[in-house]
Structure 1
Amino acid sequence: MTVTITPAVLQDVAELRQLYFEVYGHGYPVPLGSDPAEMRRLITDPHTHWLVARKPGAGELAGSVVVQADPGSRIGKLVGLAVHPVHREGGLAGRLTGAVCGAALATGSLDSIYSTVRVVTEGPQHIVVRNGFRPLGLMPNAVEVAGCESLALFARYADDVLNNREQVPSVPAPLAPLLTAVEETSGIGYASVRPIEAPGTGLLSGPVVPATTAMETVTARHFVGRRFLERFPDPAGRFFPLHSPNTILTPENGEFEAYADLDPATGSCSLIAVHPYPAAMAHALEPLMTAVTRTGVDYVETLLPLSDTAGLSAFLAAGFVPSAIYPAMRRLGDRFHDYVVLSRTNRQIDFRATAVSSLVQPYLSAYLRAWTAMYLPLHEVVS
């Protein structure tokens, strides 16, 4: 199919909204495809690369794709890939993906681009891989689109980034299956990493708090943003690319403040940082999860350096499962550091409707091993 691929312009907004409606119906939870004000902001944002595909002649809109870039972290995110149903047989999704990623990386301002891909069908997984993305993990129950869905994480790197990774000598043992999956699917080496037994409940800074304990939820976005910067003046303590907190979760005694990007529309929550330190909230996970659930969210994830054994151990002790790894995610000087995604879901996980390709299957196996080791008594596993 012959199409012309060009940058999106403000005059495209009405047609783009119609395109996303025809592709996703009313179930598309992202403002990029539904909120005209946000769409206009992104189209004019110098750090956003938005391409559209049009048929020649009448110029009918056939497809759309976006890379949102965070210049501070040098990371981009591939989002909003949509091809009109009548144009899906000509490889247009792959062409759009290749064009927008090539344009974003050509600026020299990004070290990597990631994408969280729906796994209701295998097609999107193969599209990103054919365009240089590597599979990095699986996040079960991560988003509410047409029902509760799981997402797969993929990333594409600029030249030489993976050759300059900082090596980690050891990690908590529950992460070992995840590292093995990365080696198997992406060819990124972790053979020299030694699994160690993670500290257990000793990391909890107090007695476990019942789920019925009151947890205050502060959702004043601008106040939350100001306080976040006060609590974490050093950028090193607030690394979570393309996310900013809109919610504080805190117990009545104020012993910790958990900063989160909470989105009831997608049913997901990114736990961005905990003040004064991650282990401070480990004993209060249940009331925190209860408070999050009351907002309509069933999935919580957090992001930690692979080298942060204490932080990883605290979240593992609090019931989070290692879901994905992002090698060379963060540039510090001339070296790149790996990060881990840990997640927890309050909803029963059902993989029967998930189209897990061979690209992602090792991550499903790793997740199930980690979940089983954490939540099933040993006698139930071996009996």
Structure 2
Amino acid sequence: MALVMDRAKVEDVDKLLSLYLLIYQDDYPLEIGTNRQVMKEAIENKLEFLWLVMRDDESNAIAGSCIFEMDLKYKIGKVVGVAVADNYRDRKIATTLIEYGTRRILEEQKLVHSLYATTRTLAIHSQRMFLSNGFFPLGIFPNARKIKSYETLTLMAKFKKDLFERRAHVEEVPEIISPMLSIMSEIAGIKFHTRAAKSKCATRSIGAEQESPHGDLGGFEFIYAPFFVQRRFNEVFKNDDDSHFYPFHTPNMLITCNDGTPMNLYATFNKKDHYCVIVTGSKTASVLGKARFKKLIFAMKEMGIYYVETLVRLSSFDTIDFLTQNGFLPSAFYPAMREINGELHDYILLTRTMVPLDFNGMAIDHSFMPFIKQYTQQWIKMNLKSFDVFWN
């Protein structure tokens, strides 16, 4: 039998649904592999999607699938939905699809600056499949997805040639970020001329306690209404591209102060696996102050949110400082992620897990071990070395 690479067609949707179901059972968290209408729209949208399949030219069966989604505004893309049917394994189908798609998008058509991918850590082969195609390891999402248990995911990306030379210079960063810069310098050869500075939360008004208009620490309301929240988000940020940047994430939840404090957070919440992304806010999180921010995190946990992440531009010292002084830790670094006025800006991924950290049974390539090591060291320092013990 011969295998032929092709773009997916609308009439392939049933076969693709069967492929993802056979491989992932009920564990696949993305609609693009489980929702017929979403898949149909992606296949038809040839501008923002490149959906590749490998066909068996004798039986017309789909042997493998790989989806490239692109945000042409921000010149970034992602690779998702890599799947190969069991009876076609060991033929390098996934590797071939990834290699072709990345070459076409990054080198030939130059549609985006970078392509990223996330992988599970139940097995190592998917990580090595991307690494062998020139993807750099960028970090981890600790305890990010609840499928059968809380799973850690990896993050990696492939970049256009000579992209790092156009990165914007950052004068100083909070010292908690320094280990991440050292890792990226070693892995990707990136040169950082950045000074590490101690936290300024104690010496500035960053994170100073803010009382509510009613004189106490007010609570929060969570409005999970995808269409309403998206409309509201589009209205508020219609002419403001600078204060929000989270490719491929559309807010579906609004978090608001119930006492009238003018602070709203726009988030993407996946109820199935308790995963939440803070996309942006009407003000920086530090305006809440430490005590009230702690109350927000507790309220999020009561809502069933067990993992929170947010992307912060490396130059945003105060935001990184406040979040890392209030339970968030750096877990991934994305260089040259966003272009602004010809310069490419680095971003840091800050995460917080609400459940006990557990890396047992994780299968991970050695290239991710520096990220695991720095994260666990920071986690221990934050959670186990920050209290005093008194004996009678």
The reply to whether TM is greater than 0.5 is yes
Matches within 5 A, 1:319-330: 319-330=327-338
Q: Does structure 1 residue 15 correspond to structure 2 residue 15?
A: yes
Alpha-carbon distance, 1:109 to partner: 2.1
Residues 146 and 101 of structure 1: CA distance in aligned 2, closer, same or farther (over 3 Å): farther
Alpha-carbon distance, 1:335 to partner: 1.5
Q: SS at the partner of 2:376?
A: helix
Please identify, of 369-378 and 34-43, the stretch whose mean Cα deviation from structure 2 is larger: 369-378
Which residue of the partner structure matches residue 259 of structure 2?
Answer: 253
> Which amino acid is the alignment partner of residue 143 of structure 2?
N
**Is the 8 Å Cα contact of residues 282 and 314 (structure 1) preserved in structure 2?**
no
Alpha-carbon distance, 1:264 to partner: 1.2
Q: SS at the partner of 1:236?
A: coil
Which residue of the partner structure matches residue 32 of structure 1?
Answer: 32
Pick from 279, 287, 294: which aligns with 2:286?
Answer: 279
Residues 130 and 2 of structure 1: CA distance in aligned 2, closer, same or farther (over 3 Å): farther
**Is the 8 Å Cα contact of residues 252 and 267 (structure 2) preserved in structure 1?**
yes
Which residue of the partner structure matches residue 143 of structure 2?
Answer: 141
* Cα deviations by residue, 1:90-126 (Å, 9 ceiling, x for unpaired): 2111111112222322332211111111112111111
Alpha-carbon distance, 1:83 to partner: 0.9
Which residue of the partner structure matches residue 118 of structure 2?
Answer: 116
Alpha-carbon distance, 1:3 to partner: 1.5
Alignment root-mean-square deviation, CA: 2.1
Q: SS at the partner of 1:203?
A: coil
Alpha-carbon distance, 1:208 to partner: 9.3
Q: SS at the partner of 1:155?
A: strand
* Cα deviations by residue, 1:42-88 (Å, 9 ceiling, x for unpaired): 11112011111112211211111111111111110111111112222
Please identify, of 106-115 and 333-342, the stretch whose mean Cα deviation from structure 2 is larger: 106-115
> Which amino acid is the alignment partner of residue 25 of structure 1?
Q
Distance in 2 between the 1:310 and 1:187 partners? 27
**Is the 8 Å Cα contact of residues 141 and 154 (structure 2) preserved in structure 1?**
yes
Q: Does structure 1 residue 188 correspond to structure 2 residue 196?
A: no
Matches within 5 A, 1:79-98: 79-98=80-99
Distance in 1 between the 2:91 and 2:211 partners? 56
* Cα deviations by residue, 1:141-167 (Å, 9 ceiling, x for unpaired): 111233211111101112221221112
Which residue of the partner structure matches residue 65 of structure 1?
Answer: 66
Give unpaired runs (5+ residues) of structure 1.
none
Q: Does structure 1 residue 203 correspond to structure 2 residue 206?
A: yes
**Is the 8 Å Cα contact of residues 210 and 289 (structure 2) preserved in structure 1?**
no
Please identify, of 61-70 and 227-236, the stretch whose mean Cα deviation from structure 2 is larger: 227-236
Which residue of the partner structure matches residue 221 of structure 1?
Answer: 226
Q: List structure 1 segments (4+ residues) > 6 angstroms apart after TM superposition.
A: none
Give me the TM-score of the superposition, normalised by structure 1. 0.93
Distance in 1 between the 2:288 and 2:104 partners? 42
* Cα deviations by residue, 1:132-191 (Å, 9 ceiling, x for unpaired): 11011111011123321111110111222122111212110001111112122222222x
Pick from 366, 370, 376: which aligns with 1:368?
Answer: 376
Q: Greater Rg, structure 1 or structure 2?
A: 2
Distance in 1 between the 2:270 and 2:209 partners? 29
> Which amino acid is the alignment partner of residue 47 of structure 1?
E
* Cα deviations by residue, 1:201-257 (Å, 9 ceiling, x for unpaired): 552142699xx9632011222322232234333101111111121111122123211
**Is the 8 Å Cα contact of residues 265 and 282 (structure 2) preserved in structure 1?**
yes
Q: Does structure 1 residue 102 correspond to structure 2 residue 103?
A: yes
Distance in 2 between the 1:281 and 1:143 partners? 28
Alpha-carbon distance, 1:373 to partner: 2.3
* Cα deviations by residue, 1:303-341 (Å, 9 ceiling, x for unpaired): 010011011112112211011110000011222110000
> Which amino acid is the alignment partner of residue 268 of structure 2?
D
Residues 219 and 379 of structure 1: CA distance in aligned 2, closer, same or farther (over 3 Å): closer
**Is the 8 Å Cα contact of residues 264 and 295 (structure 1) preserved in structure 2?**
no
Q: Does structure 1 residue 332 correspond to structure 2 residue 340?
A: yes
Q: SS at the partner of 1:178?
A: helix
**Is the 8 Å Cα contact of residues 73 and 331 (structure 1) preserved in structure 2?**
yes
Distance in 2 between the 1:360 and 1:67 partners? 23
Which residue of the partner structure matches residue 178 of structure 2?
Answer: 176
Distance in 1 between the 2:379 and 2:235 partners? 36
Distance in 1 between the 2:133 and 2:110 partners? 18
Q: Does structure 1 residue 231 correspond to structure 2 residue 233?
A: no
Distance in 1 between the 2:13 and 2:220 partners? 41
**Is the 8 Å Cα contact of residues 181 and 366 (structure 1) preserved in structure 2?**
no
Q: Identical aligned pairs, as a percentage?
A: 31
> Which amino acid is the alignment partner of residue 276 of structure 1?
K
**Is the 8 Å Cα contact of residues 249 and 288 (structure 1) preserved in structure 2?**
no
Q: SS at the partner of 2:26?
A: helix
> Which amino acid is the alignment partner of residue 157 of structure 1?
F
Alpha-carbon distance, 1:380 to partner: 8.0
